[in-house]
Structure 1
Amino acid sequence: MKAVVYRDNGGPDVLRLVDREPPLPGPGEVRVRVAVSGVNPTDWQARAGQAMAFPEITPHLDGAGVIDAVGEGGDPSQVGQRVWLFMAAAGRPTGTAAEFTVVPAGQAVPLPDEAGFDVGAALGVPALTAHRALTVAEDGPRRLRPGALADKVVLAAGGAGAVGHAVIQLARWAGATVISTVSNPEKAQLATAAGAHHVVNYREGDPTAEIRAIAADGVDIVAEVALGTNLALDLAVLRPRGTISTYANNGGKPVELNVAQHMVRNTRLQFIVLYTAGPDARAAAVADVAAAVRDGALPVGEEHGLPLVRFPLHRTADAHRAVEGGAVGKVLVDVTS
């Protein structure tokens, strides 16, 4: 099989296209013929500097394809099942940047026939992170379904990004009023296409006043991508007992907290990463995201607010460069032609 691997940390140039024997699934595992691999910032960050746990690593956590073999004790009826994958390369050497990968059976989630492999490859990290961001509020639900956020106002910071896009779609599916902040008119069009009810350009006018005009009592949940940059705005529009769920700090600006302000408001600051969210939270996210996919609530493509930036497998290094460079939309690697 063809696979992309790296044997040392470094820039995208450490990635190599090689021939390898297809991996064999062990007990409790399935082997998937990968159609499309999704690339996330965590993939290039792991390649660039995370300690090498194996002599050789095939990157990428997310992807979609078809189960073609099951390990000992597995269910043979799974063979031929279309699936989406999450956390494939977490603690394992076999990510999705290969024609075949092996994952624990629970990390291969059935993908409905009406959902394309592009949808499946775009789920994983973005969708599960978005679910977590929307289910940690003290006064909010722990699970998402239609109506679960019916009385809530959600602010998706950076709604044109992959996680922000998933926040908009999941919050809209769950019945929330969705506001998104963006930096330019082009991104505003994407956030609107994703389903945001209201879009605010935070670089123009008075974004606090615009958001307060929509949510007079304040925002219930902020899904935040740049906490250091946006914290003042978040606090200005957050309702008492509201939650700021932060999954990144784009721009790297240090975060300074006015403790008294947050105490008076009873702010909840929730930091999010999937690896340490715990198995129960991940399982709930997988189940709810799968339900949203079945409902057709998570489409991708520019017409749905998430442009697709595609590369063939032999150009995986260019795919990493695109993500590192801040490509707008979702970067995908076409593994199987």
Structure 2
Amino acid sequence: MKAACYRSLGPAAEVLELVDLQLPEPGPDEVRVRIVTSGINPTDWKTRAGLRNREPDGFQVPHHDGAGVVDAVGSAVTGLVPGRRVWLHLAAFGNRYGTAAEYALVPAARAVPLPDAASYDLGACLGVPALTAAHCLGGRPGAVAGRTVLVAGGAGAVGHFAIELAKHAGARVVATVSSEEKRARAEAAGADLVVRYTDADAAQRILDFAGRVDRIVEVAIGANLDLDLAVLATGGTIASYAAAGELALPVGRFMVENITLSFVLLYGLSPAQLSAAVSWTSEALDAGALTSLPMLPYPLELVAQAQDRVAEGPVGKVVLRVAED
């Protein structure tokens, strides 16, 4: 099978190559999936570049997320059969065969049925972004039903799904963005109010519209902490899923106002937490409540350019179109 892989860490153009690999056979608890679309996330290029300090075990086919069709199943697998459409998550975590290939080999628990009405592109948008969003929102719809949620970075991948999951669960959603283009993206996802976080009156506009918010899904806590604290309710939660720079906390205020600060990294979730996030995402997907991000497609042979595009932080989802639907 054709596959992108790297055998050492470094710049994309230097270490990523397109090779022929032997088609892997599934073990008892594994499934092999013919990949249609491979989704690329920041964690994919950061791992390849060496920022995660994870040396490949001989070789590594990158990319956690993707969508395709089950091709073969292991002897102990139940609930999935060849021909079933699926979306994949954490495909390359502790596993050589990620989704940047014609076929991926993954534990069966990482392959989730994809409804017939959902495109492979949408399936490839899920995984890291949607599951991170679901956990940041409390891991279950009831955590935000009837509540007010602030989503920082509402035009990003996690922000997009945080808005849609929260709205589907019955929350009121405010989103912050940095530009008019991104405002349109957050509004299209369903945010009830979208403000530019750089505006001097951003906090007051949020308070006037929604009062104090119950939960914040945060992409840049160091930059946004003052705004967050200006609008967060007593007993509220800030769930931060991105790390950049240093952070000084007003510990006394956090204590007095009984604020919870949660740092979220998908790799560190317990099996029960990950399962809850998958269940919520799947339920919303089945209901037609999730939509794909704007697609920025590349062919498999341009995987290095595609990863470099992700590193630039574009608006939209960079994917590899590996095969026809």
TM-score, with normalisation over the residues of structure 1?
Answer: 0.93
Determine if contact 1:57/1:93 at 8 Å carries over to the other structure. Answer: yes
Shift of 1:269: 0.1
Determine if contact 1:229/1:253 at 8 Å carries over to the other structure. Answer: no
Q: Which residue of 1 aligns with 2:97?
A: 94
Q: 2:279 aligns with which of 279, 282, 287?
A: 287
Shift of 1:53: 4.1
Deviations 1:17-56 (A, max 9, x none): 1111111100111100000000001101110113214010
RMSD in angstroms over aligned alpha carbons?
1.2
Deviations 1:76-101 (A, max 9, x none): 96110000000000001110000001
Q: Which residues of 2 match residues 1-337 of structure 1 at below 5 A?
A: 1-13=1-13, 14-49=15-50, 50-75=53-78, 78-135=81-138, 142-144=139-141, 149-216=144-211, 218-249=212-243, 252-300=244-292, 306-337=293-324
Deviations 1:179-224 (A, max 9, x none): 00000111000000011010001122311111111122x1101000
Shift of 1:159: 0.5
Deviations 1:228-282 (A, max 9, x none): 1001110111000000000003xx3321101111111111000001111110000
Deviations 1:286-336 (A, max 9, x none): 111111000001111xxxxx2111111011111111110011111111111
Q: Look up the equivalent residue of 1:324 and give its one-letter code.
A: A
Q: Which runs of 5+ in 1 are unaligned?
A: 136-141, 301-305
Deviations 1:145-201 (A, max 9, x none): 6xx633210000000100000100100100100000000111000000011010001
In structure 2, how many angstroms separate the alpha carbons of the residues matched to 1:57 and 1:204?
44
In structure 2, how many angstroms separate the alpha carbons of the residues matched to 1:125 and 1:279?
15
In structure 2, how many angstroms separate the alpha carbons of the residues matched to 1:124 and 1:75?
21
In structure 2, how many angstroms separate the alpha carbons of the residues matched to 1:75 and 1:213?
52
Q: Look up the equivalent residue of 2:216 and give its one-letter code.
A: V
Determine if contact 1:82/1:110 at 8 Å carries over to the other structure. Answer: yes
In structure 1, how many angstroms separate the alpha carbons of the residues matched to 2:245 and 2:96?
33
In structure 2, how many angstroms separate the alpha carbons of the residues matched to 1:255 and 1:75?
46
SS in 1 for 2:141: coil
Q: Quick one: structure 1 residues 198 and 257, their matched pair in 2 at CA, closer, same or farther if it must change by over 3 Å?
A: same
Identity, in percent, stands at 50
Q: Which moved more, 1:198-207 or 1:32-41?
A: 198-207
Determine if contact 1:53/1:91 at 8 Å carries over to the other structure. Answer: no
Aligned residues: 321
Q: Look up the equivalent residue of 2:121 and give its one-letter code.
A: D
Determine if contact 1:222/1:244 at 8 Å carries over to the other structure. Answer: yes
Shift of 1:74: 3.0
Q: Look up the equivalent residue of 2:131 and give its one-letter code.
A: L
Q: Look up the equivalent residue of 1:193 and give its one-letter code.
A: A
Determine if contact 2:7/2:56 at 8 Å carries over to the other structure. Answer: no
Q: Which runs of 5+ in 2 are unaligned?
A: none
Determine if contact 2:86/2:123 at 8 Å carries over to the other structure. Answer: yes
Q: Quick one: structure 1 residues 177 and 77, their matched pair in 2 at CA, closer, same or farther if it must change by over 3 Å?
A: closer
In structure 2, how many angstroms separate the alpha carbons of the residues matched to 1:77 and 1:225?
35
Deviations 1:116-135 (A, max 9, x none): 00111000000000000001
TM-score, with normalisation over the residues of structure 2?
Answer: 0.96
In structure 2, how many angstroms separate the alpha carbons of the residues matched to 1:103 and 1:150?
34
Shift of 1:75: 4.3
In structure 1, how many angstroms separate the alpha carbons of the residues matched to 2:247 and 2:36?
40
